[in-house]
A and B are shown apart, each in its own frame.
Chain A
């Protein structure tokens, strides 16, 4: 009895090591599998127009809010606007309190789903303060310029 449920010290160490390695490997495999399915991809309008994601997939859309495109719905909380990267435009719908720095002509990253050609945003990330710019927005100098020139 005593011998059977206790291992020799050296074996115990090996078993412990084995258990830890197996659990960690299991966790890593599970993580990799889940990440492939759950990661939310970042799109700019021209991508989302050419390769629309499935509607059950959470994605993020970044671009400039087109000037003059913002419309408030009669319910007072829903807003519709167009997001552009200079090549394509995507209509976006958002219900909620907008971030303070969210205005026409500024950059925005929207989190949500694409439903029948309209991007339904659950959340809007605008520039958080003077120093903080979402990394995705930094590469969009060209898009910003293009938007400015077309208006």
Chain B
């Protein structure tokens, strides 16, 4: 019953979106002006309805209602509750429903609170939002109905891919989706502003919190996803340039560029058409990302299901949305008046450079991700990996990071490098020192050497905007910038240290044997079977000690799930201040070729594969990512506080005027 209610709510929401689109577009014409009043309520009700539909699906997963096809295919009654609920979006249909839910809620929220823009721009914006949503509703209702029933009802569900049964999964996709959808709001603002030709600082200020919010969530999503891949896959790597990872990186790059050009537009009224264009590109990248992930068109460790029909549906949506936006941009860009001027050496100049470099990296990643598709169309199968992505993106990332060190010190409009030169000596010294130390250490390859050199300079330079200021009076938004830039430096340091200094050992160890990896001696003390709610495992008992210090116990597992039957290795990590010890338990080794594995009673006598890494300073990567997100959050809080103060002040002014008028009236 609840499934049918959910489906009905979804259809209703779609109908309201169609109405919202029509009313929004009519209301900005002189004839349809009386429709203006219904657009905002429509957006709010649509948001509530789609949220109800999503709640209905979550409830079906929570109680494992196997008469719903989606639940039967992707869930299992013997799963911990958190994974039953997370399983709602661990599949294609559910994740698309999550997407439209977040989109509907965001649209409703904008309709409810955003009052700064001219009403006509708001109507066009909400119309644009409805246009985008409508495509996704059509996709859900026509090509991937999540509420489809199953007859006869199976006795048990198929279960969820064990790789996805992880706390990371519970939060990773929703986080990314909030990011993607936040960019859809920015896109709608850009469309609204283009339609009514109101591209200016007010538009940038209205759009900025959404871009910032989306960007924070994308940053968190990428950071969490990277850590998830790091410890779940058990390969010791934290970024594989996998198409799905790239799909989340591309919107992030575009959003980062948009964020920076948005602040130029908000505070300096420059880069008008540029910002609108980036707004279109950022959401396009979210859709390209969704297309790549959802269509399963590229080989990926993340792809759940390969369904070309769905792929072509999303591709059509992508073409319609981006095509329409680009046509609109082409028609209107020339009527967007020129922004304020600035010199090359200025804060604006540095931000333009940042934008161009970010866009170039985006281009590199996009081409590398799509290249296998292009060659496959010509009958040649290729894959593109780190040897392409890492150096090619570094070509643009390195100059960008250098400018990032200088840019925040420059004044708006016009400045001289000579003025900031003295301040830059400190980061330069840090970089030179790091280069010398890395050189003395020796054996560092080119890419990590560049990273090791650059990172300390970026870290020091990121703090320079605080120099000579009273810290209590520094605006929150400035703190945000400082913390986010610091995070970039910290993450870069972690990446460089990982690729420069990581040590790996691969051994087949007997119980009682010790292996050295970096400064650690790791002893295999035993292997024993253990069991969980829906799995059994062999668990290694590792005792690690460093330079004779107190031993640490690690317990990597080789875990077998029974629904569906699948074995995964669960790594065990030990984090210390200067790095991470990473251990994976592999197979039991048959001593002679073709031998059957020894019986369970004999676990202690055979040899076990162990893969051990000592990774100095690797946690800095995710600490840096978290700092970047924290910086974004500080900036968002600062902006919102400013907006709120302005709002309150405006209210007070109106209030005072009213009281004055009243007083005058009494006197008269």
Q: Give A residues with C-beta under 8 Å from B.
A: 5-10, 12-13, 16, 19-20, 23-24, 26-28, 30-32, 34-35, 38-42, 58, 60, 68, 70-72, 75-77, 95-98, 100-101, 123, 128-136
Given contacts A13-B273, A38-B388, A131 and B304 within 8 Å (CB-CB):
yes
Structural contact, B564 and A97, CB atoms closer than 8 A:
no
* Chain B, Cβ-Cβ closest to A5: B343
With an 8 Å Cβ cutoff, the count of chain B residues facing the other chain is 69
Structural contact, A77 and B359, CB atoms closer than 8 A:
no
Structural contact, A24 and B360, CB atoms closer than 8 A:
yes
Per a CB cutoff under 8 Å, which of A10, A23, A30, A41 touches B380?
A: A41
Q: How far is the CB of B654 from chain A (nearest CB, A)?
A: 36
Measured between alpha carbons, how far is A78 from B594 in the docked complex, in Å? 14
Structural contact, B364 and A30, CB atoms closer than 8 A:
yes
Measured between alpha carbons, how far is A130 from B591 in the docked complex, in Å? 30
In chain B, positions 381-436 with a C-beta closer than 8 Å to chain A are 381-385, 387-388, 391-392, 395-396, 414
Q: Indicate if B341 sits at the interface (CB-CB under 8 A).
A: yes
- Cβ contacts B367-387/A at 8 Å (1 or 0 each): 110011001000011111101
Supply 15 further A-B pairs (C-beta < 8 A) apart from A76-B607, A135-B306: A5-B343, A7-B341, A9-B340, A12-B338, A12-B342, A23-B360, A27-B361, A31-B392, A39-B372, A39-B388, A58-B385, A71-B594, A72-B589, A76-B508, A132-B303
Q: Name the B residues within 8 Å of A40 (CB-CB).
A: 382-385
Structural contact, A130 and B392, CB atoms closer than 8 A:
no
Structural contact, B367 and A35, CB atoms closer than 8 A:
yes
Measured between alpha carbons, how far is A9 from B270 in the docked complex, in Å? 10
Q: Indicate if B301 sits at the interface (CB-CB under 8 A).
A: yes
Q: Name the B residues within 8 Å of A38 (CB-CB).
A: 384-385, 387-388
Structural contact, A31 and B368, CB atoms closer than 8 A:
yes
Structural contact, A27 and B364, CB atoms closer than 8 A:
yes
Given contacts A77-B508, A134-B299, A31 and B343 within 8 Å (CB-CB):
no
* Chain B, Cβ-Cβ closest to A40: B383
Structural contact, B341 and A12, CB atoms closer than 8 A:
yes
Interface residues of A: mostly helix, strand, loop or mixed? mixed
24 pairs, A vs B, C-beta closer than 8 Å:
A20-B355, A23-B356, A23-B357, A24-B356, A30-B364, A31-B363, A31-B367, A34-B391, A35-B367, A38-B387, A41-B382, A58-B387, A60-B383, A68-B594, A72-B593, A76-B508, A76-B609, A97-B586, A98-B587, A128-B301, A130-B566, A131-B305, A134-B299, A135-B299
Q: Name the B residues within 8 Å of A136 (CB-CB).
A: 299, 381
Measured between alpha carbons, how far is A38 from B392 in the docked complex, in Å? 11
Structural contact, A20 and B356, CB atoms closer than 8 A:
yes
Measured between alpha carbons, how far is A32 from B363 in the docked complex, in Å? 11
Q: Indicate if B37 sits at the interface (CB-CB under 8 A).
A: no
Structural contact, A77 and B507, CB atoms closer than 8 A:
yes
Per a CB cutoff under 8 Å, which of B352, B367, B375 touches A28?
A: B367
Q: Indicate if B567 sits at the interface (CB-CB under 8 A).
A: yes
Q: Name the A residues within 8 Å of B301 (CB-CB).
A: 128
Measured between alpha carbons, how far is A16 from B235 in the docked complex, in Å? 44
* Chain A, Cβ-Cβ closest to B389: A38
Q: Name the A residues within 8 Å of B607 (CB-CB).
A: 76
Q: Indicate if B143 sits at the interface (CB-CB under 8 A).
A: no
Per a CB cutoff under 8 Å, which of B298, B371, B567, B609 touches A77?
A: B609
Q: How far is the CB of B326 from chain A (nearest CB, A)?
A: 15
